[in-house]
Amino acid sequence: MSNLQANKISKIFKDNKAFIAFLTAGDPSLDKTEEFILAIEKAGADLVEIGIPFSDPIAEGLVIQEANERALSVGTTTDKIFMMVKRVRQKTAIPLVFLTYINPIFVYGIDRFFKACQESGINGIIIPDLPFEEKGEVLDVAKTYGVDVITLIAPTSKDRIQTLAKEATGFIYLVSSMGVTGVRSEIKTDLKTMIDDIRQVSETPIAVGFGISDPDQAKAIAKISDGVIVGSAIVKIISEHGDNASDSLYNYVKSMKEAIS
């Protein structure tokens, strides 16, 4: 069975507030990751971010760090993740984006990595520790293989927001708050001003992530942005329910998507 042609990332934001879900590949197993991606899509998610487990994930809070450890402890490798993505691609055209640190890409080989992304049906990539100034090499190779390198913009980017936004493709990942990923009870960043600054120079859709966990938060953020990204709350459901997380994931994602629709 051949891979389904994946939908382009930018398409998901047309006439729709996008719900983007994150999970860690291999937590609790790659077979389950495949099952969970399909459950999340069925519940209404528009795009799924797949975390490649890494031993030193600097941007992640405890919940996702522990998911990385669980995934690595069962022997999850980049090659096995590519094979899992190929299987998912035979069943769904939902856009898929990797979240990985730069080191695993270098170790794998930049060209080899992005070629495998294209062959397996990965549409985009988020690299939290890739400095803007050093993006060139990765960007050129990714472009050759049709993979969007997603721009991350954080509250600390203040003076550089427009520089960062100008070249963005796919979508802009706007980081809602300082520090590492995790569930927050409130988000204090002035997102509206940041979004206005971005919109002056870029038409690329803006999705907000870090700290969003309940439908009310999602609804409020969706009013000012093009979509919401949820990671830790989903990974937490997987850590609590393990192999049996599909139903809980479906119900949670459905409630979040309904809140922003």
**Which has the closest alpha carbon to 12: 233, 224, 209, 229?**
229
| pLDDT category of residue 109 using cuts at 50, 70 and 90 | very high
Which of 35, 49, 119, 167 is catalytic? The answer is: 49
pLDDT-based confidence at 1, cuts 50/70/90? Answer: very low
Whether 240 sits among the annotated catalytic residues: the reply is: no
> How far apart (Å, rounded) are the C-alpha atoms in residues 210 and 215?
14
Of the listed 34, 60, 66, 133, which one is catalytic?
A: 60
pTM: 0.94
* pLDDT one-digit tens code per residue, 158-214: 789 999 999 899 999 999 876 555 565 666 578 999 999 999 999 999 999 988 999
203 has catalytic annotation: no
- Segment among 8-12, 76-80, 200-204, 230-234 with least mean pLDDT: 8-12
CA dist 227 → 122, 156, 172, 184, 261 (Å): 20, 21, 10, 18, 10
Mean pLDDT of 211-220: 94
